[in-house]
Amino acid sequence: MPANLSRRTFLKIAAGGAGAAAAATVNTADAFSLSGEKPPPRLASDTVVPSTCAMCYWQCGIHAHVKNGRVTRIEGNPDDPLSRGRLCPRGVAGVGQLYDPDRLRTPLIRDSSGGNQFWREASWDEALDYAAERLDAVRKKYGPEAIALFTHGPGSSHFRRLLKAIGSPNAAASSFGQCRGPRDVGFELTFGMGPGSPENIDVANAECLVLLGSHLGENMHNTAVQEFSEFLGKGGNLIVVDPRFSIAASKARHWLPIRPGADMALLLAWIQVILNERLYDKDYVNSYCSGLDDLWRAVWQYTPDWAYAETGIEARLIHQTARELAKASPRTIVHPGRHVTWYGDDTQRSRAIAILNALLGSWGRKGGFYMRGRWRVPPYPVPKFPKPQKPRADGVGEDVPFGHEGLVNRMRDATRTGKPYPIKAWMVYATNLIHNTPGVKETREAIDKLDFMMAVDIMPSDITGYADLILPECTYLERYDDLRAGATDVDFIQLRQPVVAPLKGTRPGWQIAKDIALRLGLEKFFPWRNFPEYLDKRLRLAKLSLRDARKRGVFTRERGPRFFEDGAPVRFSTETGKIELFSLALLQRGFDPTPKYTRHPEPPLGKFRLIYGRSANHTFAWTQNNPLLLDHYPENVAWMNTGEARAKGLEDGEYVRLYNDDGVMSLPVKLKVTEGIRPDCVYMVHGFGQTNEKLGLAFGKGASDTALMNRYAVDPLCGATGMRVTFVRVEKAAAAAREV
Ligand SMILES: Nc1nc2c(c(=O)[nH]1)N[C@H]1C(S)=C(S)[C@@H](COP(=O)(O)OP(=O)(O)OC[C@H]3O[C@@H](n4cnc5c(=O)[nH]c(N)nc54)[C@H](O)[C@@H]3O)O[C@H]1N2
Ligand SMILES: Nc1nc2c(c(=O)[nH]1)N[C@H]1C(S)=C(S)[C@@H](COP(=O)(O)OP(=O)(O)OC[C@H]3O[C@@H](n4cnc5c(=O)[nH]c(N)nc54)[C@H](O)[C@@H]3O)O[C@H]1N2
Ligand code: SF4
Ligand SMILES: [Mo]
């Protein structure tokens, strides 16, 4: 760790997470002044290289300070519309990942000679030959579709290209079926468009914001947190629906500690009140929406009195908050959420959220949802990819009627069962399937069925432990990735470029994918000599240049009007061309055309629902070995309600284990006894409980939520995995250990 990034500074930045969302996103210079220390002097020999953060998927523009070939600190690029010159604690801690001594630094081949399995270091040439040879064997024996890609994040495009060149349709990322899939589908069915990333919400100008679960301030998507702070600074009315007293709840005018799983009841009751009391935006609804009468027929019975019994939220409060939503409309946002794979009826819950926003007239309106544009960067011209001869193995578009992105869980299950056809090789790029997909037993069974699995990662993670071949990628600070075009209040194109030379032995993803393609005879799909050539070609086609991009890191362009009132085109790409309060598409496929309430099973006496979320200091399961972040948030804790803990004789700070209904026991985890959670659930930060011993700092810290998720509820509309259906009992760690 560079000496000038003192740990105290980090404490200071991250500690803001609990107090003020704004303080959690100060830039490093502010952080130093906050902590009373002097910022490190900017020596003349400091070089500042603009690039893009990849400590999470938000992708903020950065300025990396480099001295003598080492990165000394990372700040936000003030010209970047996502960072606006500020980074979250994880972005600042990119150096901790770059200089992590446990990083993968050479290709490794699983060697089973002599009866024992062990990792053998290999040269890149040998490793790439091996990858190509094994992939080719599967391709010849079973057809190209037998090769699947699991991937996530900014480097994915290189391996998606490789998979397409091979001729397989089977790519999947956890960002759909374990994250935002149901939200995107629910909004598409209603407005003809999903909320996208960054979400098309104008939070800074909103007057009322409703967060269902979305725990901004712990969920540290940078721009979202900055706008949230602006909203709070202006005295916006924040309503937080969460069974746990989250950081956002601590800022709210109303905290509604809902019974987990009952959000649909609350949403339907809000819709009922808004229709019943004619509080909806009549002009807007008359002009743009279809199906109002059908909606009313479906929801009239969902009164606040009825919802009280389901949600535990008093009818009076449901009435009052419904009126507050309407009063601020159209500057009211019922947040679409992001990780929404909760209970299996998540697409319908997202539909209810979309419908509520439509009634409030907030879609396409200032202080509500803006209309997105796109700055098109033409692709690098390559020959047409071969057409796969088989349909997708995960059934997307067929058995899964409304999903339109690959599903990790179903691709995994196709591998496990050999149905609809055998999948025999996995390429796993930057995704830790052991931590991000429920049903770990099934994941292991699927891996057992493979002829070959390769993992491209930066760390010896839990998933790399299962591979036949590990290929060490260099980190985002050491490589180029493809361009990212996006939009906020401006259109932008961002560049990721190397800030320092790659750690010896590691290589960028673009090169790994190209070198494998070359060995498989697929070089015509990778016709560039190197990635700068690729990037420059694309940028030139967009009338820009790599030379400029390298200097600035980001290009921005003014947007046309974003709101209907400013002249943004009113367009809804639904079947009827209207906002569909009643969905014909759903009706035609035999689903409820308007959202309905189903009660989810509750944990039996003595058990708790397992819920989970984020720490401001960690990204999923990949930052737990980063000294800068771990120092501040060293292990996850299990939150339990004070009364429950007392009844069970459990004390704050002691170690417990969680047991699920299938006899799986968690690693020991520290108990946090608090009034800030309902008695029917326990809460944990996701991503801990790593079992790879090569992770010197992360190994043995905290427990994994995923390891307990044998069960999950599949959303019939989009195939996503609802992950809040696990019940656990909680026992003292020592006592639990005796039982086993
Ligand atoms: N620091 C950090 N920030 C991140 C990430 C990260 O890894 N680290 N990941 C990013 C990504 S990809 C995503 S998708 C987002 C996810 O972040 P969000 O979309 O905000 O996540 P959720 O899982 O929806 O919300 C978790 C909250 O839901 C509450 N909750 C649990 N059950 C229920 C329920 O039944 N009803 C209601 N109303 N609330 C419930 C939990 O108590 C918790 O406070 O975070 C993003 N931001
Ligand atoms: N139980 C449970 N499951 C969840 C969630 C949860 O809250 N609880 N959250 C869900 C959500 S919202 C999402 S979006 C997904 C996220 O799931 P993923 O995005 O797959 O996140 P991780 O599981 O941390 O796996 C990321 C892997 O990428 C590696 N990596 C990081 N940077 C690089 C890089 O630059 N190059 C390469 N090659 N590898 C890199 C890390 O070392 C790690 O092994 O998980 C979902 N699954
Ligand atoms: S939100 Fe934080 S970790 Fe994510 S890209 Fe931005 S600075 Fe990096
Ligand atoms: Mo996510």
**Binding site membership of 243 for ligand 1 (Cβ less than 6 Å):** yes
**Binding site membership of 393 for ligand 3 (Cβ less than 6 Å):** no
Q: Nearest C-alpha to atom 27 of ligand 1 is from which residue? A: 213
> Residue 314 burial by CB count (10 A; 0-12/13-18/19+): exposed, middle or buried?
middle
Q: Nearest C-alpha to atom 7 of ligand 3 is from which residue? A: 91
Length of the chain: 740
In the block, residue with structure tokens 């909203």: 231
Whole-number pLDDT of residue 631: 87
Q: CB atoms < 10 A from the CB of 739, how many?
A: 9
**Binding site membership of 187 for ligand 3 (Cβ less than 6 Å):** no
Enter the tokens of residue 642. Answer: 């004070």
Enter the tokens of residue 563. Answer: 């709101």
**Binding site membership of 55 for ligand 3 (Cβ less than 6 Å):** yes
Q: Nearest C-alpha to atom 40 of ligand 2 is from which residue? A: 430
Q: Nearest C-alpha to atom 6 of ligand 3 is from which residue? A: 60
Distance 436 CA to ligand 4 centre (A): 10
Kindly tell me the sign of the dihedral angle through the C-alpha atoms of 213, 269, 328, 202.
positive
Q: Ligand 3: which of 10, 25, 28, 55 to mutate, most ligand atoms within 8 Å of CB? A: 55
Number of Cα atoms under 13 Å in the Cβ half of residue 720: 34
Cα–Cα distance, 335 to 147 (Å, whole number): 38
The angle, 0 to 180 degrees and rounded to 10, between the axes of the packed helices 263-276 and 292-299 is 120
Number of the ligand 2 atom closest to the C-alpha atom of 687: 24
**Binding site membership of 90 for ligand 3 (Cβ less than 6 Å):** yes
Residues 6 or more apart whose Cβ sits within 8 Å of residue 375:
485, 487, 491, 492, 493, 542, 557
Distance 501 CA to ligand 2 centre (A): 25
User: DSSP character for 258?
Assistant: P
**Binding site membership of 212 for ligand 1 (Cβ less than 6 Å):** yes
Number of the ligand 1 atom closest to the C-alpha atom of 211: 38
β strands within 650-737, DSSP E: 655-660, 669-674, 681-685, 713-714, 721-722, 727-732
Whole-number pLDDT of residue 43: 56
Cα–Cα distance, 210 to 195 (Å, whole number): 15
**Binding site membership of 87 for ligand 3 (Cβ less than 6 Å):** yes
**Binding site membership of 611 for ligand 1 (Cβ less than 6 Å):** yes
Q: Nearest C-alpha to atom 4 of ligand 3 is from which residue? A: 56
**Binding site membership of 695 for ligand 1 (Cβ less than 6 Å):** no
**Binding site membership of 479 for ligand 1 (Cβ less than 6 Å):** no
Q: Nearest C-alpha to atom 14 of ligand 1 is from which residue? A: 339
Distance 482 CA to ligand 1 centre (A): 28
Backbone region of residue 245 per phi and psi (left: phi > 0; alpha: psi in -120 to 50; beta: other values): beta
Q: Nearest C-alpha to atom 5 of ligand 3 is from which residue? A: 59
Distance 135 CA to ligand 2 centre (A): 24
Q: CB atoms < 10 A from the CB of 29, how many?
A: 15
Q: Nearest C-alpha to atom 47 of ligand 2 is from which residue? A: 436
* Ligand positioned closest to the Cα atom of 509: 2
Distance 54 CA to ligand 3 centre (A): 7
pTM of the model: 0.94
Cα–Cα distance, 237 to 66 (Å, whole number): 43
Q: CB atoms < 10 A from the CB of 321, how many?
A: 24
Alpha helices in 116-236 (DSSP H): 124-142, 156-166, 174-175, 181-191, 222-233
Distance 92 CA to ligand 3 centre (A): 8
Bridge-partner residues for 110, per DSSP?
119
H/E segment holding residue 283: helix 282-288
* Ligand positioned closest to the Cα atom of 94: 3
State the virtual CA torsion across 460, 462, 466, 472 in degrees, nearest 10: -20
Cα–Cα distance, 569 to 561 (Å, whole number): 8
Nearest to 62 by CA among 34, 41, 17, 93: 93
Amino acid letter, 41: P
Whole-number pLDDT of residue 114: 80
Q: Ligand 3: which of 25, 26, 53 to mutate, most ligand atoms within 8 Å of CB? A: 53
Residues 549 and 52 sit within 8 Å (Cβ to Cβ):
no
Whole-number pLDDT of residue 397: 85
- The CA-CA-CA angle for residues 214, 215, 221, to 5°, reads 90
Bridge-partner residues for 70, per DSSP?
67
**Binding site membership of 226 for ligand 3 (Cβ less than 6 Å):** no
Q: CB atoms < 10 A from the CB of 377, how many?
A: 18
Whole-number pLDDT of residue 740: 35
Q: CB atoms < 10 A from the CB of 523, how many?
A: 13
For the chain, the maximum distance between any two Cα atoms, rounded to a whole number of angstroms, is 77
Distance 472 CA to ligand 1 centre (A): 30
Residues 248 and 203 sit within 8 Å (Cβ to Cβ):
no
* Ligand positioned closest to the Cα atom of 619: 1
47 φ, ψ (degrees, to nearest 5): -110, 140
Residues 6 or more apart whose Cβ sits within 8 Å of residue 447:
415, 426, 453, 466
Cα–Cα distance, 704 to 687 (Å, whole number): 6
Whole-number pLDDT of residue 461: 92
Distance 477 CA to ligand 1 centre (A): 27
Nearest to 531 by CA among 585, 478, 488, 464: 478
**Binding site membership of 686 for ligand 1 (Cβ less than 6 Å):** no
Q: Nearest C-alpha to atom 45 of ligand 2 is from which residue? A: 436
Distance 91 CA to ligand 3 centre (A): 5
Whole-number pLDDT of residue 735: 58
User: DSSP character for 55?
Assistant: S
The set of protein residues with a Cβ atom below 6 angstroms from ligand 2 is 54, 152, 155, 174-175, 178-179, 339, 429-432, 435-436, 456-459, 461, 463, 473, 475-476, 612, 620-622, 686, 705-706, 709, 723
Spans of the chain, pLDDT less than 50: 1-39, 737-740
Nearest to 452 by CA among 471, 427, 422, 421: 427
